Amino acid sequence: MSGFEPTREAAHARLAALQPEAYARSRNHLEGAVTHLSPYLTHGLLGLAEVLQALRERHGLDESHKLVQELGWRAYFHHVWRHRGEAIFASLHAGPLPDDAYAPTLPEDIRRGATGVPAIDRAVRTLYATGYLHNHARLWLASYVVHLRKVHWRAGADWLYGHLLDGDLASNHLSWQWVAGTGSHKPYLFNADNVARFAPREWHSAGSAIDLSYEALDALARRPREVGGGRGEPVDEPALHRAPPPGLATEAGPLPPAAALVHPWSLAGAPPGGPAAGVFFADFHARWPWSERRWRFAADRLQQIAGVPHWCEGPVPAGATAWADPHAAPWLAGARAMPVAAAFDEPARACASFTQYWRGTRMARAGSGARA
C-alpha cells in the first residue's frame, strides 16, 4: 500500500481503483482488496455520498452489497453521535465487567509494541509507520487491550485516534465500544487461529497469550485479572501534538470577517462565499492531539486550497461560511454551516443498533446542491 497524498486527484484515483467484488471476497484479510478510502472520507476530500454515487453508477451497487453496508457503518456511527453527543465518549451501557475493573491508562509495553504477541506488536508498528491499520487489525488490537490486558476502552480509543491518519471520533470510539461490549451485546474476541487465517505469516501468534479457545477467551473477558505482557522488543512511540509541530507554519492573526472557511474535515475545497481561509481549531487539538503525519496531511491540503492556515483560538467570525461537520461544529456556532449531501436517508428515530439503522435507511439519491 502506498502512502496517502492529500489531494483530490489521489482520492479519486483510490475511488476509481475500487474492486467491489474483490472487496466482498477478501475484505477480512490484511492483504485483501480493501478501499483505503478512509483518510479521504474522514478529511472530506471525498464525501460518503460521492463515493456511494460512484459505486451506484460504475458498478450498479445497491444496499445489498457488502461494500455499501460497510460504508453504512460510518454513517451509522455518525447517526449515533448526532443523537448521543458527548455520551459516545463514555460507556453506553455496562460491558462484561464494571468500568472501574479496567485500568485507566495504556501500559507501556502496548504503547511500544512490546507485548510479545506478534499480531499486536505488528499492529502497533504498522500504525506508527503508516498512520493506518486494516480494520481487522484494529479489532484485534482493541480486543487484546480491553479483554486480555483489562485497559478501559476509552484509554485505548484515545491513543489509537491520536496516531491514525483517518481517525474519526464517532467511528473510532464507537468501534472500541463495540469491541468492549459497552456498545454491543457481547465482547468481540479473537484468537491465534483467527490471525493465522487472515494475516501474513509474520503476524501469526501461536504459543502467545491469544493462543486459546474462544471459550477460554470469553472466560478471561469476564474476570478482572489481566494476562500480562512485556515480552517483546520495544519501539519508540511517535509524539502526539496539541499544537502545530515544529516547522508547520500557521498564522495567528484574525480571520477575514466573511471568510469561506476550510477546516481539516472539509478538504475537498472552500465553500462558496468570501476569501478562502484554512483553519485549525486550538480547542479541538487541546483535547484531541494528532501525530505529525496527520498535522502535515491536513496542513498541506489546507495550504493548497487557502494558503497558510490560521491557528484559531476563539470563535470564528459570524459572517464566515464553512461546510458542516460534527468535529468542527462547536467552533462554527457563529458561522453559516453549509450542509453536506446525505449518503443515506436518515431513520426517523435514533437507532440502537446497526441492524435497526440499516432496516430504516436506504442510499440517498444525488444531493440537491449540498457538497457531496
Instruction: Give domain limits for the chain.
Output: 1-89+341-372, 92-238, 241-338
- Per-residue pLDDT, 253: 83
Is 134 in a helix, a strand, or coil? coil
CB 340 within 8 A of CB 326: no
CB 363 within 8 A of CB 56: yes
Residue 367's pLDDT band, with cuts at 50, 70 and 90, is very low
pLDDT in tens, 151-184: 999 999 999 999 999 999 999 999 999 999 999 9
Q: Is 140 assigned to a binding site?
A: no
Q: Is 102 assigned to a binding site?
A: no
pLDDT in tens, 243-260: 999 999 999 988 988 999
Q: Is 72 assigned to a binding site?
A: yes
Q: Is 132 assigned to a binding site?
A: no
Mean pLDDT of 188-195: 98
Q: Is 281 assigned to a binding site?
A: no
Topology of the domain comprising 92-238? DNA Cyclobutane Dipyrimidine Photolyase, subunit A; domain 3 (1.10.579)
313-317 long-range Cβ contacts below 8 angstroms, 24+ apart: 313/282, 313/283, 316/255, 316/259, 316/261, 316/279, 317/254, 317/255, 317/256, 317/257, 317/258, 317/259
Does residue 27 have a pLDDT over 80? yes
Q: Is 122 assigned to a binding site?
A: no
Does residue 1 have a pLDDT over 50? no
- Per-residue pLDDT, 371: 63
Does residue 64 have a pLDDT over 60? yes
- In CATH, the architecture of 1-89+341-372 is Alpha Horseshoe (1.25)
In whole angstroms, give the CA distance from residue 71 to residue 77.
Answer: 10
- Per-residue pLDDT, 105: 98
Q: Is 71 assigned to a binding site?
A: yes
Q: Is 52 assigned to a binding site?
A: no
Q: Is 76 assigned to a binding site?
A: yes
pTM: 0.96
